[in-house]
Amino acid sequence: MTVSSASPARRHAAALHGWLLLLPAAVMLAAFTHYPALATFWHSLHTTARGNRAAEYIGFEHYQDMLADPIFHLALKNNLLYALGTIVPSVALAIVMALWVNGRIAGRGALRLAYFTPTMLPMIAVANIWLFFYTPDYGLLDQLRGLAGLPARNWLGSPDSALWAVMTVAVWKEAGFFMIFYLAALQQVSPELREAATLEGASRWQYFWQVLFPLLMPTTLFVLINATINAFRLVDHLFVMTRGGPDNASTLLLYYIYEIGFRFWDQGYAAALTMVLLALLAVVALVKFLWLERRIHYQ
Amino acid sequence: MSSLALAPAFDSRFDRILNTVAAWTLGLLWLLPLAYAAWTAFHPSEYSARFELFAPLTLDNFRTAWEAAPFPRYLLNTTLLVTTILAGQLLLCTLAAYAFARFSFPGRDIAFALVLVQLMIMPDVLIVENYRSIHRLGLVDTIGAIALPYMASAFGIFLLRQTFKTIPRELEDAARIEGCGVLGVLWRVYIPLARPTYLAYALVSVSHHWNNFLWPLVVTNTVDTRPLTVGLAVFAGTDQGIDWAVISAATLLSSAPLLIAFLLFQRQFVQGFLRAGIR
């Protein structure tokens, strides 16, 4: 079976070349992904070195502190709510947008552009724009409410609306990005399916749920995985809009890690918090592996 | 018969109008925050919250922003940053992808699985430990420090490996007969044929790092290294005295380069994201 070219000497040369080619990337990956992931765990078991006091081993004390830390609980709860509240609307909107701009609609190109443009803006810029949008009295949102005779509202300043206001911004930024994946998938769908469904007397609703939606399933899974990772990874807008406030009402896990690690310089506790984030991402990875890899495999 | 044929036609026409109206309502809603930012940026600040059709247009806000903060320097830093990252990524990912696609060596599959770990655990969430490493290397507050964690990109390796695998081996054999070595084959055969993938990857990488904020915020602390995103956040956050018109102008200013590039090369960008997304 194997061709004669696989002589031992050649095989060795190929192995050597392979490893040499891989080496630079392997070193960088090990240094900035694998090592820090492991070091996070190690450092989470130690106190933070301060001044001339070296870090000392404290076992799982940070994790016990975490269980008793109300801000951590809030950050975790907020983050789960944030994930749910941004993923579902942005995926639903992405599908609707894709259906619209895939059909024959007036000004289709301009419409695609309108939906997609927020994706290209830095999250920091987006946050600035929306900050002004939300400004009490002065901002556009309150001006529109004023026209309807509604009183001014401090959207970002009150604990019961801050998180929702921040979530809206994430949906605005992400829906258009997910739209292009659905659009690409819709363009693969044969128009005959629709004709067949119409002949069978299926309503549009039935056609969507029974024909189109199952066909879009691989795209949906791909988008869901990405959206979930983003929900835990992208917290830039908090820095401008709420700083996690008021009273931590809009804080998210990574933002809290930043505050503990770089504002209070408690890197030991920040490492323990990072472990929680890594565990959450590992769950996403596992779901992806079990669910997605069965259809699309890396070969 | 005719009524049967007519009914759906009427229905679909009514339907199309309804859909068009709904789609455009959402479209305008989507543009509203951006349009509002543009309004404030191009009008004197007394019109920031007053909408009059004939309010005087001005570029003063842009001039004020440009002079009030070192935006030219930030722009230079960002440009340096995205080129450094892209150059490093192209080099490292090409070599690694070539190894995975065309060489068999012991431990290859494990190594590949370890590479894919980075798709889930991105450098963005490892800021605490990576800061520790960068600090120990004495690289805090350098552009290199911002770039280092992103150099070996699992995503780039994966994407290029897929592309290299589709290239027929006969081409490689032919090049070998012509006397090309390992790197010669890579340079003459694989890289030229993977050009569309390189373009797609480059666009995705540049737009990602142009907009990246958290890690640069952590490792930079002077004007000489701060990218635009961090500079903008510092500018808008420093004191409440700066007026909205100027902040809006600064915001548009820092988003403009990428946005203009996108408007000019829309198709390539969208193709890039799609190609990068389909795994």
How would DSSP label each residue in A161-226?
A: THHHHHHHHHHHHHHHHHHHHHHHHHHHS-HHHHHHHHHTT--HHHIIIIIIHHHTHHHHHHHHHH
- For an interface test with A, the pick among B129, B150, B264 (most A C-beta atoms closer than 10 Å) comes out as B129
pLDDT above 70 covers what percent of chain A?
95
Q: What is the pLDDT along chain B (279 residues), one digit of tens a residue?
A: 333 433 444 457 788 888 888 889 999 989 988 888 888 888 887 777 777 777 778 888 888 888 888 888 999 999 999 999 999 999 999 999 999 998 988 889 999 999 988 888 888 899 999 999 999 999 999 999 999 999 999 999 999 999 999 999 889 888 888 888 889 999 989 999 999 889 989 988 998 999 999 999 999 999 899 999 999 888 887 655 567 888 888 889 888 999 999 989 888 888 888 887 654
**Which residues of chain A lie closer than 8 angstroms to B247, CB-CB?**
128, 132
In chain A, the domains with their CATH numbers are 61-291 (1.10.3720.10)
Can you say whether the dihedral through the CA atoms of B153, B157, B160, B162 is positive or negative? negative
Domain interval for residue B159: 64-277
Q: Calculate the dihedral angle through the C-alpha atoms of B147, B219, B118, B75, rounding to the nearest 10 degrees.
A: -40
Question: A27 and A252 in contact (C-beta within 8 Å)?
Answer: no
Query: What ipTM was assigned to the predicted interfaces of this complex?
Result: 0.87
pLDDT above 90 covers what percent of chain A?
43
Neighbours of A264 (CB within 10 A): 11
Among A3, A32, A35, A39, smallest CA distance to A268 is for: A39
Q: Give the model's confidence band at A27: pLDDT under 50 very low, under 70 low, under 90 confident, else very high.
A: very high
Task: Say yes or no to pLDDT of A255 above 90.
Answer: yes
Q: What is residue B135's predicted lDDT score, i.e. its pLDDT? A: 93
Contact of A92 with chain B, judged by CB distance below 8 Å, is answered with no
- For an interface test with A, the pick among B11, B16, B115, B121 (most A C-beta atoms closer than 10 Å) comes out as B121
Distance from CA of B28 to the nearest CA of A (A): 8
Tell me whether residue A250 is exposed, middle or buried, using C-beta atoms within 10 angstroms of its C-beta: 0 to 12, 13 to 18, 19 or more.
buried
The CATH number of whichever domain residue B169 belongs to comes to 1.10.3720.10
Query: What tokens were used for A134?
Result: 């939300």
Q: For B36, which of A140, A261, A298 is closest by C-beta distance?
A: A140
Task: Say yes or no to pLDDT of A244 above 80.
Answer: yes
Gap between the Cα atoms of A211 and A193, Å rounded: 8
Gap between the Cα atoms of A191 and A175, Å rounded: 25
Q: Give the list of residues 6+ apart from residue B266 with CB closer than 8 angstroms, or none.
A: A113
Q: What is residue B138's predicted lDDT score, i.e. its pLDDT? A: 93
Q: Given an 8 Å threshold on Cβ–Cβ distance, is B92 in contact with A277?
A: no
Question: B279 and A296 in contact (C-beta within 8 Å)?
Answer: yes
Nearest CA in chain B to A40: B129
Cis peptide before A218 (omega within 30 of 0): no
Residue with the two structure tokens 């001014």: A152
Q: Given an 8 Å threshold on Cβ–Cβ distance, is A37 in contact with B98?
A: no
Contact of A103 with chain B, judged by CB distance below 8 Å, is answered with yes
Q: Calculate the dihedral angle through the C-alpha atoms of B137, B142, B146, B149, rounding to the nearest 10 degrees.
A: -20
Question: How many residues are given for chain B?
Answer: 279
Bridge partners of A50?
Answer: A53
Is residue B55 included in any domain, yes or no?
no
Query: What tokens were used for B33?
Result: 């925050």
List Cα–Cα distances, B69 to A228, B47, B253, in angstroms. Answer: 36, 23, 12
**Which residues of chain B lie closer than 8 angstroms to A267, CB-CB?**
128, 132
Query: What tokens were used for B164?
Result: 């290299």
Q: For A120, which of B20, B152, B262 is closest by C-beta distance?
A: B262
Contact of A79 with chain B, judged by CB distance below 8 Å, is answered with no
Q: What is residue A50's predicted lDDT score, i.e. its pLDDT? A: 82
Is residue B2 included in any domain, yes or no?
no
Q: How many independent structural domains does chain B possess?
A: 1
At residue A46, the 3 state secondary structure works out as strand
Q: What is residue A298's predicted lDDT score, i.e. its pLDDT? A: 42
Contact of A296 with chain B, judged by CB distance below 8 Å, is answered with yes
Q: Given an 8 Å threshold on Cβ–Cβ distance, is A43 in contact with B129?
A: yes
Query: What tokens were used for A244?
Result: 């996690």
**Which residues of chain B lie closer than 8 angstroms to A25, CB-CB?**
92-93, 95-96, 115, 152, 157
**Which residues of chain A lie closer than 8 angstroms to B149, CB-CB?**
32-33
Contact of A269 with chain B, judged by CB distance below 8 Å, is answered with no
**Which residues of chain B lie closer than 8 angstroms to A140, CB-CB?**
32-33, 36, 49
How would DSSP label each residue in A243-298?
A: TT-STTTT--HHHHHHIIIIIS--HHHHHHHHHHHHHHHHHHHHHHHHHTTTTS--
Tens-place pLDDT, residues A155-203: 888 888 899 999 999 999 999 999 999 998 898 888 888 888 888 888 8
Q: Give the list of residues 6+ apart from residue A223 with CB closer than 8 angstroms, or none.
A: A91, A94, A178, A181, A182
Is residue B190 included in any domain, yes or no?
yes
Residue with the two structure tokens 């693969």: A188
Is residue B22 included in any domain, yes or no?
no
Residue with the two structure tokens 């070219």: A5
- For an interface test with B, the pick among A27, A29, A147 (most B C-beta atoms closer than 10 Å) comes out as A29
Q: Calculate the average pLDDT of chain A.
A: 87
Mean pLDDT value across residues A199-211: 84
Q: Calculate the dihedral angle through the C-alpha atoms of A173, A179, A184, A190, rounding to the nearest 10 degrees.
A: 180
Task: Say yes or no to pLDDT of A114 above 80.
Answer: yes
Nearest CA in chain A to B90: A25
**Which residues of chain B lie closer than 8 angstroms to A130, CB-CB?**
33
Is residue B44 included in any domain, yes or no?
no
Nearest CA in chain B to A20: B99
Is residue B57 included in any domain, yes or no?
no
Is residue B164 included in any domain, yes or no?
yes
Is residue B29 included in any domain, yes or no?
no
